[in-house]
Amino acid sequence: MATRRNSTDDPLAPVTLAVGQEDLLLDRAVQQVVAAARASDADTDVRDLTSDQLQPGTLAELTSPSLFAERKVVIVRNAQDISADTIKDVKAYLSAPAEEITLVLLHAGGAKGKGLLDAVRKSGAREVACPRTTKPAERLTFVRSEFRALGRSATPEACQALVDSIGSDLRELASAVSQLTADVEGTIDEAVVGRYYTGRAEASSFTVADRAVEGRAAEALEALRWSLSTGVAPVLITSALAQGVRAIGKLSSARGGRPADLARELGMPPWKIDRVRQQMRGWTPDGVSVALRAVAVADAGVKGGGDDPEYALEKAVVAIARAARSGGR
């Protein structure tokens, strides 16, 4: 899915710029560079920093010559948030990048931090586009490309069925493709997808989200426990919860119209417009705000901010279900 926007295709280029907001593609861009560096030198030192950790002087320190001349990969996430003083350091480094060091900058794109973005592009950095997939057709293209990348054949109907079953999360879609190719021989068709995901759909992160936004707390909690017991990552469940609540908010603020028109306006498939309309009963703007805050707290909890990710998810599910029934009161 990720495509490079210049002629440089060497993961060990001095600077790689990954631009976009699709987390899976950004992570893959980083993984490709790290894998190439470690293939060249198994002792490669990898430094993974957020923008606030890159203070003035930090980049110079990280890229200074090593006594042992080891290869190093320096990753800077959310580069659009780098401070003005540190941007000067980055621009200075771009003019004379160090040997045996690969700098990877992850930038969301857009207006924020555009000066740095333009400077990195002007320097001739290798660029990897990581756009967020907002349209059903883009997710379908992604699934097809995943099967091709794994050297497997899947029918168009199978790809569509997989998107319909899994939803919009690229991580879940990629995981599903990987699992199908590992477990199923020969061409993967619609019947295979339907048979394989019949039981799993009941325990998917999207089922948890659907039951929660419908105000069905007991069923949502049951689906949550099944999801966790079958190995669904907590972060995928918070992502599905966030998508479910945001869909309610988007549709409630949109002007009425046919599902096809709303689908184009909101970036949802028409079938989802119909489903969300049914789920909207009982929701208010205050309820959406309460639910989004609950999801944010749970997301922090499952990403290291709490001791018990399962409990954090349970609290979020209950809060969302309550908001669906009472508008957040």
Residue-level pLDDT, tens digit, the chain, 329 residues? 443 344 458 999 999 999 999 988 999 999 999 999 999 998 899 999 988 899 999 999 998 876 666 789 999 999 999 999 999 999 999 999 988 899 999 999 989 999 999 999 999 999 999 998 888 888 999 999 999 999 999 999 899 888 877 777 788 888 889 888 988 889 999 888 877 765 454 446 788 898 999 999 998 998 888 788 777 778 888 988 998 898 888 888 765 666 666 666 666 666 677 778 888 888 999 999 999 999 999 999 888 766 788 999 999 999 999 998 775 45
In contact, 71 and 101? CB cutoff 8 Å: yes
> Which pLDDT value is given to residue 6?
41
**Under 8 Å CB-to-CB from 225, ≥6 apart: which residues?**
none
Quick one: pLDDT at residue 260? Answer: 64
CB atoms within 10 A of CB 267: 16
Phi, psi values for residue 7, rounded to 5°: -80, -15
pLDDT, residue 256, reads 61
* Closest to 117 measured CA to CA, from 5, 269, 262, 254: 5
Q: What is the pLDDT of residue 313?
A: 95
Residues in a beta bridge with 101: 72
Take residue 181 and report the two structure tokens written for it: 């190719």
The conformation of residue 154, written as its DSSP 8-state character, comes to: B
pLDDT at 172: 82
pLDDT at position 66, please?
67
- The pLDDT score that the predictor gives to residue 270 is 65
What per-residue confidence (pLDDT) applies to 196? Answer: 73
Strands, sheet with 101-107, edge to edge from the N-terminal-most edge strand: 3-4, 126-130, 15-20, 101-107, 72-77, 45-50
Tell me how far apart the alpha carbons of residues 309 and 16 are, in angstroms, rounded to a whole number. Answer: 34
Return the pLDDT at 3.
39
0.85 exceeded by the pTM? no
